[in-house]
Structure 1
Amino acid sequence: MAASQDELAEAAGDEKQSGVVNDEPEVSRSDAKTSDGGIILIPQPSSDSRDPLNWSVSKKATIVATLFLAMFVGFSAPFCGQLNLQQQAALYGKTTVQITYFNSAASAGLATGGYFWWPLSSKFGRSSVIFWTLFGQLAAQIWAPMMTRPDQYAPYLVSRYFSAFFGVTVSVLGPRYLVDMFFLHQRGRAFTVLHLALNFGASAGPTFAGFVAANAYWPVEYWWSVALTGFTIIIVFLFLEETSYDRSEGAANRILPNSWIRDRFETFFLGTKVAPPTTWSHTLKIAITPFKIAVAPVLLIIAGFDTISFGFYVALNALTPVWLQLPVKAGGIYGFSVTQNAAFTFVHWIGLIVGFAYGHFFSDRIPLWLVARNKEGVWKPEYRLHALWPTNFILMPLGLGLVGCAMQYRLHWFVMALAQFFITIGSLVSIPVTVNYICECFRTHTVEAALVLNSMRLFLGLSINFYINPWIAAVGVGWVYGMMAFFSVFAFMFLIALMIWGHTIRKITPFSTAMSEEGQHVVTKGPEDDRF
């Protein structure tokens, strides 16, 4: 069988040291295949029905929906116990802030799991790895509610680590499915849909668990997640398909079996049937690739932005239950019950809906509008980043500032709700845009790039629980969140630097792993085109 695209790209990278090249051949606008709206299809699809670019809309939607469900489970399961803090604190003899350390354990699992699953996916196939890691998460979700003795605090935290360690798989491998199935001008919406599951899972998991266990003992909040994970395993087996396809001339792509059962068996049980044969030594070499990409300046800049913007969102979700549920007699402001806290989390749901609508309508239109107005009508990956101006330069800092005001001046809970609404919108929009941008910067190494970005952006959220109290003691709770607001504005400066000097920064990439679609003609008309 022919070498995989990643192998071919890596070999090509050894010969080309310019740092930024197109991995798809340039096609003249007169000869190129276009969409019904006159947008040039990038990459150009083959005439083979096995090519994922040629699959029907319904088939692509089914696969995205399956990935959505699996990612939702992956991010909701580790955070199920986020609201029921008082019972666990009493059981384990810990403070409520110490109970929130399980959020850090989960974040550590999310940050590290991908480095293990990505190399295995190159040997056994992405779909197979997603399928079997769901079984690992199922075991972790059964493990957690069994930890009901006072001396089982540490094992409980370990269960949260492994739930996230197994659950992160789709967020790492999922972007490659989208790049395989969708054209350049469609990816913004596709990434928005898939990454909605990430934020929605992290928000809905605590909501469901809070209502389930509001009037019961805390372990019951995990069993709905166990059932959903089992259901997801069935859905993945029925509908998820491998999207690997080599469009190079003479490539030997997989011949699909006539039997649906045989196809399922080959996809999930015989990984080498859907993945190019490879040795364990080459798998180890693949495992090293993310560390090469990790030193690329463009990735470090995006990771710096994501670490601050998404890290503060993770920290906010982890700590808000502490602030809301702290009894008034103990110095708290709101004194919410678990049920009230669960109802409060619907603010995140509303923010997710608004953020999803914004991403759906503007994440592709804004960059295409910019393409249509440049001199040559060609693509630049940095056009993606302009969609973040209203959400992350305005709403995100404003929301963090409002949290600080609400805490400092003991304002009505509605102010806190409005603040979290703004922050949720900023978080939801920023993740798919930045992941999409990085995947387009490293077009032939999308999984490795997504993996590194995913792990880096979790560092702040992983650690903040351990130093939040000293930080509050030093400057006061109001200025803690006020400083976060200023830091988020500072983080946006990273994006502005890319918007201005992105082409130059992408060229400064060691190991020749940066391949983008920059310079490709996207529109058939010139700057006067007003379709976008």
Structure 2
Amino acid sequence: MSAMKAADKLPMPDVRVAPGSDDASELFKKDVNGIVLVPQPSDDPKDPLNWPMHKKILIFTCICLAGFAGQMSPNSNQLTFVYQVPAYHKTQTDLLNSVAAGLAGWVAGPFLIIPLVAVIGRSSVVLWSLVAIFICQIWAAEMTGPNDYISFTISRLFCGLFGGIPAILGSGYIIDMFFLHQRGKAFAIFEVLIIFAVVGGGTLGGFIAEHKPWNYVFWWTLGPVGAAILAVFFFVEDTAFSRDSSMPKPPSLPESWMANRIATFLPGTRTQPSNKGSEMVKRAIIPLQITFAPITLLTGTYIFIALGLPIMQASTLATYLEPPEEAGGYGFSSLQMAFFTMTAWVGIISAQVYGFFFNDKTPLWLARRRGGTWHTEYRLANTILPSIILPIGLGIYGAGLEYHLHFMVLALGSFLIWFGALLALPVCYNYIVECFLHNPVEASVSLNAYRVSFGLMSVFIVTQWQSSVGVGWMWGIGAFLIVFVDLIMAGIILKGHLVRKWTVTLSTSIAVTEDGATISTNKGGAV
């Protein structure tokens, strides 16, 4: 039982068997490939772990669409804000601040809105956030007059407040429906789609602005946002299920489809247990506890830099490429800008393909090589490659801008930046969520703040930073910052289990992992 002493309080009675015992293979439930199911599913057909895979994939697909549509909306004009300068009689810096307003909403919104999950349920919060985004996009598209700048900026702030909510809540659905050995693929698909929305929304906006007025970059988003609203309403079910008999249970929902939809979404109070008030206060406090937990501070610092610099690259891209060549730019049109951002698309898609095949396979291989016992830090083995790629990409990008090299040099740097960043992001998200397994949504709220904060801050400091050291050294310093956080990540990989013990000391109620669980009864086998 020594291997299980590190196990936290996750209620998995069937798993608490010494990994090497003779009867382990009989007591553990496994999948068709012989991988032990963690957590062990209950015998209740309402348990999302017992749902058929096609149902899980349908709900997951709808949540992916919701996260994608919500995330791309606040920064729809990130490549086209320069076209709004004459409309409002403002400077490029003023319009860049409107992009920053959306980023500020991304940071603050989850802390303010996620506690409502305790009152109206996770699915209802997703649906009504999408409705709010839909309204905000119409609001922004209508703000075309010279006196509409303030109102337009406020629309971006509110769109940001709601825009990140579906993406944050997605982690809860993943934890509820998928087993440990499936989550790496799910997080890779989900998080890559979320970042793809940040880049892809601007790219499509660039194509549109080449042939249509600039406000069309907001009108077109009503299609995917509207589709996400319908998909969530028709297909998404509440996935909350407690395997702890001491916890209060929500009332049973109606069996008939329409009555079920009304109970789930209008407004959704039927999906939650009776202790809504105390649970709402708890959900407001837990993200702050997780944000400042030792393991989150370290991993969050890595995300802050490793994801913040790519967001800074995307947010400032137009300021480097669109000015004429005599002004030090490349004279790109919005159409050329849109094509250039395809380099990030290729990097993001490549990262998704890599993550799909290796985000689960690598940690499971490590677990089997080390006796079949799971340790959460095995997830982080997949950060080694991006930790090498990211500083190289930033260095190439900075050198290309400094010496005004051919734009294909910038394209190579952009590809490496986004490929590396999107290899690391799902792994870090998955890791921290599995460090706080009973609070996956609150953990995502915390990581979202780390992920977006540097990008938000960079909008305000990039001009002064570049003026002080030059564009080449600005991105060169960024590369050295990546090397610094690489050392932090190395420390987490080697000693993260000790850091997590500090978190347990500070708050035993939230520090819940699957450490010590048996993931394989075939030692040394291949996955």
Q: Same fold (TM over 0.5)?
A: yes
**Aligned partners of 2:417 and 2:327: how far apart in 1?**
28
CA-CA distance at 1:253 after TM superposition: 5.8
CA-CA distance at 1:135 after TM superposition: 1.0
Equivalent residue number for residue 494 of structure 1: 488
Equivalent residue number for residue 222 of structure 2: 226
Is 1:193 aligned to 2:189, yes or no? Answer: yes
Q: Deviations over 1:376-401 (max 9, x none)?
A: 3211111111101112x111111111
- Specify which of 355, 374, 389 is matched with residue 384 of structure 2: 389
CA-CA distance at 1:250 after TM superposition: 8.0
**Aligned partners of 1:377 and 1:433: how far apart in 2?**
20
Equivalent residue number for residue 24 of structure 1: 12
CA-CA distance at 1:279 after TM superposition: 3.7
**Aligned partners of 1:398 and 1:384: how far apart in 2?**
23
Q: Which amino acid is the alignment partner of residue 318 of structure 1?
A: S
- Specify which of 229, 248, 262 is matched with residue 259 of structure 2: 262
**Aligned partners of 2:203 and 2:242: how far apart in 1?**
43
Equivalent residue number for residue 297 of structure 1: 294
Mapping for residues 44-59 of structure 1, pairs under 5 Å:
44-59=40-55
Q: Which amino acid is the alignment partner of residue 176 of structure 1?
A: G
Contact 1:87–1:218 (8 Å) recurs in 2:
yes
**Aligned partners of 1:397 and 1:63: how far apart in 2?**
37
**Aligned partners of 1:250 and 1:496: how far apart in 2?**
39
Equivalent residue number for residue 430 of structure 1: 424
**Aligned partners of 1:426 and 1:277: how far apart in 2?**
45
Q: Deviations over 1:11-54 (max 9, x none)?
A: xxxxxxx9954443334332000111111100001122211111
3-state SS of paired residue (2:39): coil
**Aligned partners of 1:420 and 1:46: how far apart in 2?**
46
Is 1:323 aligned to 2:320, yes or no? Answer: yes
- Specify which of 378, 403, 409 is matched with residue 415 of structure 1: 409
**Aligned partners of 1:373 and 1:168: how far apart in 2?**
38
CA-CA distance at 1:85 after TM superposition: 3.0
Q: Which amino acid is the alignment partner of residue 300 of structure 1?
A: L
What TM-score results when the alignment is normalised by the length of structure 1?
0.93
CA-CA distance at 1:467 after TM superposition: 1.3
Q: Deviations over 1:153-177 (max 9, x none)?
A: 2222211111111111122211011
**Aligned partners of 1:250 and 1:483: how far apart in 2?**
52
Is 1:42 aligned to 2:44, yes or no? Answer: no
Mapping for residues 26-175 of structure 1, pairs under 5 Å:
26-28=15-17, 29-30=24-25, 31-175=27-171
Q: Deviations over 1:500-529 (max 9, x none)?
A: 111110011222221111011101111x21
**Aligned partners of 2:522 and 2:390: how far apart in 1?**
36
CA-CA distance at 1:93 after TM superposition: 2.8
Contact 2:250–2:274 (8 Å) recurs in 1:
no
Contact 2:85–2:91 (8 Å) recurs in 1:
yes
Equivalent residue number for residue 471 of structure 1: 465
Aligned length: 510
3-state SS of paired residue (1:516): coil
Q: Deviations over 1:206-260 (max 9, x none)?
A: 1111111213321122111123212221111011111011223487565342311
Is 1:343 aligned to 2:331, yes or no? Answer: no
**Aligned partners of 2:476 and 2:147: how far apart in 1?**
38
Equivalent residue number for residue 3 of structure 2: none
Is 1:519 aligned to 2:516, yes or no? Answer: yes
Question: Which 5+ residue runs of structure 2 have no aligned equivalent?
Answer: 1-5, 18-23
**Aligned partners of 2:485 and 2:93: how far apart in 1?**
27
Change (3 A) 1:366 1:454: same
**Aligned partners of 2:290 and 2:67: how far apart in 1?**
24
Contact 1:41–1:183 (8 Å) recurs in 2:
yes
3-state SS of paired residue (2:306): helix
CA-CA distance at 1:121 after TM superposition: 0.6
CA-CA distance at 1:322 after TM superposition: 1.3
Equivalent residue number for residue 280 of structure 1: 277
CA-CA distance at 1:280 after TM superposition: 2.3
3-state SS of paired residue (2:512): coil
CA-CA distance at 1:152 after TM superposition: 2.2
Change (3 A) 1:45 1:199: same
CA-CA distance at 1:335 after TM superposition: 0.8
After superposing the two structures, state which structure 1 stretch, 365-374 or 209-218, moved more: 209-218
**Aligned partners of 2:207 and 2:198: how far apart in 1?**
15
Change (3 A) 1:216 1:249: closer
Q: Which amino acid is the alignment partner of residue 515 of structure 2?
A: E
Q: Which amino acid is the alignment partner of residue 85 of structure 2?
A: A
Change (3 A) 1:311 1:500: same
Change (3 A) 1:249 1:284: closer
**Aligned partners of 1:320 and 1:195: how far apart in 2?**
22
After superposing the two structures, state which structure 1 stretch, 317-326 or 246-255, moved more: 246-255
What TM-score results when the alignment is normalised by the length of structure 2?
0.94
Change (3 A) 1:363 1:214: same
Equivalent residue number for residue 13 of structure 1: none
- Specify which of 480, 498, 504 is matched with residue 504 of structure 1: 498
Question: Which 5+ residue runs of structure 1 have no aligned equivalent?
Answer: 1-17
- Specify which of 366, 373, 394 is matched with residue 378 of structure 1: 373
**Aligned partners of 2:187 and 2:522: how far apart in 1?**
26
Q: Which amino acid is the alignment partner of residue 76 of structure 1?
A: M
CA-CA distance at 1:493 after TM superposition: 1.5
CA-CA distance at 1:94 after TM superposition: 2.9
**Aligned partners of 1:249 and 1:96: how far apart in 2?**
58
Change (3 A) 1:503 1:20: farther
CA-CA distance at 1:130 after TM superposition: 0.4
**Aligned partners of 1:358 and 1:442: how far apart in 2?**
26
**Aligned partners of 2:93 and 2:485: how far apart in 1?**
27
Is 1:212 aligned to 2:200, yes or no? Answer: no
After superposing the two structures, state which structure 1 stretch, 39-48 or 284-293, moved more: 284-293
After superposing the two structures, state which structure 1 stretch, 379-388 or 24-33, moved more: 24-33
3-state SS of paired residue (2:419): helix
Q: Which amino acid is the alignment partner of residue 12 of structure 2?
A: E
Q: Which amino acid is the alignment partner of residue 377 of structure 2?
A: E
After superposing the two structures, state which structure 1 stretch, 464-473 or 81-90, moved more: 81-90
Change (3 A) 1:281 1:182: closer
